[in-house]
Every structure is written in structure tokens, then in C-alpha cells.
Amino acid sequence: MMGANKLTGAIAALMDEYKKAIDELIAVIEPISPHQLIKTIEPESSNPDCISIQTILTHVTASMFSYAVYIENSIGLQTTRPERLQFDHITPYISRLREALKYNEDFFTRNPDITMEEFDQSKKINTRWGQQYDVEQMLEHAIVHILRHRRQIKNALIQFNS
């Protein structure tokens, strides 16, 4: 459990699940070779984030910071999203995943009394893809985002080995 002594309640539960999702993703990607990282999965994909494991991981790591920045900005901080980074080896992606998780954990440690559930639509977080979330929903979305892309990467590795 991460920071169990610092975080409590829904925040602690969601951050534990976020860490679990990241740990599971790392277990899947750790053995990936540089060749597998850049190998095309979906050459005809209309989504540039899904062409290779490299583009998926670039998208996933950037998204982890983006979700946190949405939350930060919803409480009045003027945070800008960190640069989107692409790597040629798996090790920096693993480091970036851990760094993004720590960024999220540090934010919630500094803001333990943040309102998790918001029923007033005017106070929800508006995303650039058109959804509205409260903090709890944004974190839940962030966790499922990791799970979905972990599954996608796992399937790509099966495809590569068949």
C-alpha cells in the first residue's frame, strides 16, 4: 500500500487501486524489447496513440499527468501539463509511470480534504474529450484507462508471439 499513513478514505482506496493498476502494467511491459516497443500493432489505426506499444505508453504516461492537472486546475491551481515524452526503451516508461503516480499521490497528500464527489454540474471538471467528471470519477477513469491499455498491450504481445 502506498502512503497508507498519509491518505485516508476514498482517496487512499483509489490511490491503492491506481498503484495496483500501474504495478500490473509494469509487470506486463518490463520484458518488452526495444524491437517490440516500436513494432506496429495497428498500421491502419485512426488513433495515433495506438500504433505501437511505444505510442500507447507515451499516451498512458502523458494521460496520468493530464488527469492530475485537470484535478489541480479544478481547485484553482494554474498547472500546465508536463511535456509528452517518447522513449526508445521500456525502462524510462517504467520510471515515468512511477513518477506520474507519485505526482498524483503528492497532490492528494497536500490536498487531503479535496471534495471527491461533486453533484453540482457547474463545478464538475470539463475534459477536452467532452466528458464531465468530479475528482472521484476522474481518478476512477484514470485507473480504468491503465487497465484498458494494459489489456491492449498484453494482446499485442500475444499477437507478436503468434
> Which domain CATH number covers 136?
1.20.120.450
Q: What is the pLDDT of residues 22-65, one digit of tens each?
A: 999 999 999 999 999 999 997 777 788 889 999 999 999 999 99
pLDDT of residue 148 exceeding 60: yes
The predicted structure's pLDDT at residue 92: 99
Angle at 66 between CA 52 and CA 98, to 5 degrees: 70
The residue type found at 97 is L
Q: Which domain holds residue 56?
A: 9-161
The predicted structure's pLDDT at residue 5: 58
Q: What is the pLDDT of residues 87-122, one digit of tens each?
A: 999 999 999 999 999 999 999 999 999 999 999 999
Tell me the whole-structure pTM to 2 decimals. Answer: 0.93
Neighbouring-strand partners of residue 52:
40
- More reliable by pLDDT, 42 or 12: 12
Residue 16 lies in a domain: yes
The count of other CB atoms within 10 Å of the CB of residue 14 is 21
Residue 1 lies in a domain: no
Question: What are the DSSP calls for 97-127, one per residue?
Answer: HHHHHHHHHHHHHH-TT-------GGGSEEP
Residue 126 lies in a domain: yes
Q: Report strand pairing: 125-126 vs 132-133.
A: antiparallel
Q: What is the pLDDT of residues 119-143, one digit of tens each?
A: 999 999 999 999 999 999 999 999 9
Largest Cα separation within the chain, whole Å, is 50
The predicted structure's pLDDT at residue 48: 86
Instruction: With beta carbons less than 8 A apart as the criterion, state whether 23 and 94 touch.
Output: no
Residue 3 lies in a domain: no
